[in-house]
Amino acid sequence: MADRVLVTGAGRGLGLTLARILCERGDHVAGTVRDPARAGDLAALPGARVEVLDLAASDAIPGRVDDICRALGGVDLVINNAGINFAGVDDGLSTLSVHDMAADPMLGLFRVNVVAPLLVVRGAMPWLRQSGNPRVVNITSWLGSIGGYATDSAPNYGYRTTKAALNMASRAMAAELADDGITSVVVNPGWVQTDMGGGAKADLTPEQSATGILAVADALTPADSGRFLDWNGAERAY
């Protein structure tokens, strides 16, 4: 049976690839973007809905997501893929080192990378409860792992701390939503050849990462809730 899937940040990169593969296999997809004028590739996918969602407009997120799920006819899988790094906020370079640290750019990253995914789930909750197989996949990063801290990478405080916070938020959500039968996990997509990833230097094509992520999502059961997984299903240290 086809899934009804909400993918945030579906206008390009990994999100667009996730949406494309989902559409190709017959799922019903709502892909969110900030600017629909730049979502031509998403709009061209058969079976995809282009939905506008600004993750920086926190107060509007739950109601907007509720509307999107209603238009989709419900939702079985939420993939919180959208996220930003230092380039996504004003004065973002000041989040890279404690020597240059500034509060507002850090808070801007937290608003989009941590608070927004929780508000997306809040908006989708009434519809997830109606699903026979409700799942939430939050796309994180190995750079957010505390137990597996990557010492060979830059401090990058804004991105790293927001992904670590997303990991904890997802773990807490897994515990809270267990009684609703909603499975919540975080998935590291790997080092992907996208603008936000590593470009041509990265290890994985968007197709490889997206295919793996969807295989993980398809195989999830309530017993998996709270896990931190790699794109290929391997366990990752929190």
Read off the amino acid at residue 107: L
User: Residue 146 falls within a domain, yes or no?
Assistant: yes
Looking at residue 152, what is its pLDDT?
76
Here the CATH number for the domain that contains residue 166 is 3.40.50.720
Number of domains in the chain: 1
What is the identity of the amino acid at 139?
I
C-alpha to C-alpha distance for 19 and 30, rounded to whole angstroms: 8
In a domain, 237, yes or no: no
Q: Which domain holds residue 61?
A: 4-230
Per-residue pLDDT of the chain (238 residues; tens, 9 = 90+): 789 999 999 999 999 999 999 999 999 999 999 999 999 999 999 999 999 999 999 999 999 999 999 999 999 999 999 999 999 999 999 999 999 999 999 999 999 999 999 999 999 999 999 999 999 999 999 999 998 887 878 899 999 999 999 999 999 999 999 999 999 999 999 989 987 777 778 789 999 999 999 999 999 999 999 999 999 999 999 9
Beta-bridge partner residues of 111: none
Give the helix/strand (H/E) hosting 43: helix 40-43
Q: Is 221 helix (H, G, I), strand (E, B) or coil?
A: coil
Residue 149 lies in a domain: yes
Is 29 within the bounds of a domain?
yes
Residue 235 inside a domain? The answer is no
CA angle 177, 55, 34 (to 5 degrees): 130
Q: In the numeric block, which tokens belong to residue 162?
A: 């927001």
Residue 82 lies in a domain: yes
